Structure 1
Amino acid sequence: MHILLTRPKDDIPALKNKLIEQGFTVSACPMLDINILPVEEVDSQTSQILDAAQAYLFTSANGVRAASHHGLTQNSERPVFAVGPATADACKAAGFQTVSEAGGDVRSLVEMIKGTNTPHISGALVHISGRDQTGNLVEQLCDAGYDAASVVLYRADTIPAFPDNIATQLISGEIDAVMFYSSRTAKHFVALTTLAGIKLSMTAYCLSEAVAKILRQAGVANIKVAATTTEESMLALLA
């Protein structure tokens, strides 16, 4: 089976190696180009919010990389809350010492935070995020009485078109399956195939039902959805 990966560039190598070890042929086409905000562009207000944080919240490994770039790992003893296993692993690799891991989505992250004594600790919960956010993490936490804020430290820009080699592989039917980890990636993939006149004849492996819904509406016939929003569940679909 020839699988196409659509994750951001820095998330691809480890996943690609796992798939190759299992005997799959793998191509990569990141749908999003991750650009971390330069340190010198962080204003004083943002710096104050980061300095006042009691804990950091991460909903992707991209946020962890941005935090590392901006030196937030200097406060490695500060607790962090990660949306799922992959993000938690990124937090630990970055040097954070106290990492709490949710079940893979914003809902489980909010419930996990509610289950701690975080409201009784002075200081804000700061979500390190991208410019284009999905979900309403901070809004939910504020509604629950938390002091929560979001700080944008990177942006994820969509690619303008498929590279020529990927377009050729898709048109020829050489690619059997595509793995989708986010709704935004799925939407942009559909938009690019429409732009290029490419038929959606591959199998779509989706991290969640929300991702699958987008591809189903676009006319993809063969869709498989992970049992849980984790990479392990995605890989289990291929077993």
Structure 2
Amino acid sequence: MRVLVTRPQEKAERTCARLAAMGHEAFSLPLFRPVHFDDVVKAALAARHWRALAVTSAEALENVEASRDAPGFRDLPVFAVGRKTADAARAAGFTQVIDGGGDGERLAETIAAFPPSGDGPLLYLAGDPRAPFFEEALRRLDVAFETVTAYAMRPVADLPVDAVLEEARPEAVLLYSAAAAARFFALVPAQLLARHGLNPLFLCLSAKVAASVPACLSASVRIAGAPDEEGLLALLN
């Protein structure tokens, strides 16, 4: 199958390699690029008045080494949104990592069900833009927290959309976030797909991502059984 990957470039390359190993033809259209605020993250971690850390994307820990940046934090609980983010936290050197189950609301429920000890708030290393669901759930569950923006996803300018569509002629498009889905369809409306004679499947990481697909294309939407890349790629089988 011909598959279009909409992740940032570095991650898209890894996904394209996985797709090629699965026997698919992979193409990339990186809609965003990450900008990391390393000094802000290190300053927040060094404050050491937190009782736990929460992360909803591995991107938030991209340049973090616990032993160097947060020695007082290494053994405190780190609540990660899912398996990939939990793996990134362990790779960064944190020793007490809890997998929150796959989405922000379940992560908040996990934190409330197993509250870490101590008096300080939870530190949430977040991205920009981000969905509000995790923070809303923390407030609803009366979990004290502070948010620090660890990275921002900036739109990639001057994307050669028509050329990519013509080369790739995708039979499936991988959509990993609501922001990526919204930008994809701003750049690639249904009329443009029709002009290129394309009718791809839109493979979405979650129902929240699928909600950003235009209603006129809803019949082509498939939602991953689990909100991770393994679940997404399983839709290609």
- TM bucket normalised to smaller: 0.7 to 0.9
Matching residue of 2:149: 152
User: What amino acid is aligned across from residue 175 of structure 1 in structure 2?
Assistant: P
Percent pairwise identity:
28
Cross-structure match for 2:102: 104
Unaligned runs of 5+ in 1: none
For residue 115 of structure 1, report the CA deviation from its aligned partner.
Answer: 1.6
Paired with 1:154 and 1:95, the residues of 2 have a C-alpha distance of 20
The answer on 1:233 being equivalent to 2:231 is: yes
Change (3 A) 1:30 1:122: same
Q: Normalising to structure 1: TM-score of the pair?
A: 0.85
Match of 1:134, as an amino acid?
A: A
Q: Which amino acid aligns with 2:187?
A: L
Q: Residue 138 and residue 210 in structure 1: after superposition, are their counterparts in 2 closer, same or farther (change >3 A)?
A: closer
Structure 2 equivalent of residue 24 of structure 1: 24
1:186 aligns with 2:181: yes
Letter in 2 for 1:2: R
| One-letter amino acid matched to 2:177 | S
**What are the residue-to-residue correspondences of 1:159-170 with 2, within 5 Å?**
159-162=156-159, 164=160, 167-170=162-165
Counterpart residue type for residue 179 of structure 1:
L
1:29-63 CA-partner distances (Å, limit 9, x unpaired): 22111001252xx399x648843222110101111
Question: Do the aligned partners of residues 195 and 117 (structure 1) sit closer, same or farther apart at CA in structure 2, a change above 3 Å counting?
Answer: closer
Q: Secondary structure at the match of 2:30?
A: coil
The answer to whether the Cα contact below 8 Å between 2:29 and 2:164 also exists between their aligned partners in 1 is: no
2:95 maps to 1:132: no
- Between the aligned partners of 1:83 and 1:48, the Cα distance in structure 2 is 19
State the one-letter code of the partner of 1:133: R
Runs of 4+, deviation exceeding 6 Å: none
* DSSP-derived class of the 2:154 partner: strand
Q: Provide TM-score, normalisation by structure 2.
A: 0.85
> Do the aligned partners of 1:78 and 1:98 also contact (CA within 8 Å) in 2?
yes
Residues 177-208 of structure 1 show CA distances to partners (whole Å, capped at 9, x for unaligned) of 11001111000000111499444622111111
Query: What is the match of residue 222 of structure 1?
Result: 220
Per-residue deviation, residues 148-188 of structure 1 (Å, max 9, x unmatched): 110012111122342x3x53241466222110011110000
Report the equivalent of 2:91.
93
Contact 1:180 1:206 survives alignment (8 Å): yes
- Equivalent residue of 1:215, what SS? coil
Q: Which amino acid aligns with 1:140?
A: A
Provide the C-alpha distance between the structure 2 equivalents of 1:68 and 1:96, rounded to a whole number of angstroms.
8
Kindly state the Cα deviation for residue 67 of structure 1 after the two structures are TM-superposed.
Answer: 4.1
Q: 2:171 aligns with which of 171, 176, 183?
A: 176
**CA 1:201–1:106 in structure 2 vs 1: closer, same or farther (change >3 Å)?**
same
Displacement of 1:230 after TM fit?
2.0
2:76 aligned partner: 78
183-192 or 103-112, which moves further after superposition? Answer: 103-112
1:66 shift after superposition: 5.0
- In 1, distance between residues paired with 2:47 and 2:179? 27
For 1:193, the aligned partner's letter is V
Give, in angstroms, the shift of residue 4 of structure 1: 1.1
State whether residues 45 and 69 of structure 2, in contact with CA within 8 Å, keep that contact through their aligned partners in structure 1: no
Where do 1:1-16 residues align within 5 Å? 1-16=1-16
What is the alpha-carbon distance in structure 2 between the residues aligned to residue 161 and residue 221 of structure 1? 30
